[in-house]
Amino acid sequence: MNSEQGATAVKERQEEPHASFSQVTAITLTIPQTGTAMPSKERIEAFFQEWGDNLLRAIGHILLSEQEPVQLVQYAGMRTSWEASRYPGMPYVVFIGINLDEELLADRWNALFAP
């Protein structure tokens, strides 16, 4: 080693910036049961899109009307799919995303079902 030029015996590794998943949350919301209007598939799909990149995935069971079977809805990669389901329980949707505001999400979700 040449002390005049300075030498580094141990070089500390530079930390690579990486995504933190500590901000990923899952929020389960139910469908309001009384005094509600059922939104269309298109309105629900638009609702998912409104959250942009913050909403990574949504999945759940929704009853759109008494004449239709319960629908399994899945949203991922900015795409939504629907299929008939035999789910017997209370309708719900699980929202999985980054930095989702739970209160705002719940308020906006409930507004979809306002008469």
pLDDT tens, residue order, the chain (115 aa): 554 544 434 434 444 455 555 689 999 999 887 667 889 999 999 999 999 999 999 999 998 888 888 999 999 999 999 999 999 999 999 999 999 999 999 999 999 988 8
**Exposure string for 26-53, b = 16+ CB within 10 A, e = fewer:** ebebebbeeeeebbeeeebbebbeebee
- Output the pLDDT for position 20: 53
- Domain spanning 24-112: CATH 3.30.420.40: no
Q: Where are the domains of the chain?
A: 24-112
3-class secondary-structure state, position 111: helix
**Token pair in block for residue 13:** 């590794």
- Output the pLDDT for position 114: 85
- Output the pLDDT for position 14: 47
If phi > 0 it is left, if psi is from -120 to 50 it is alpha, else beta; for residue 18 that is beta
pTM attached to this predicted model: 0.78
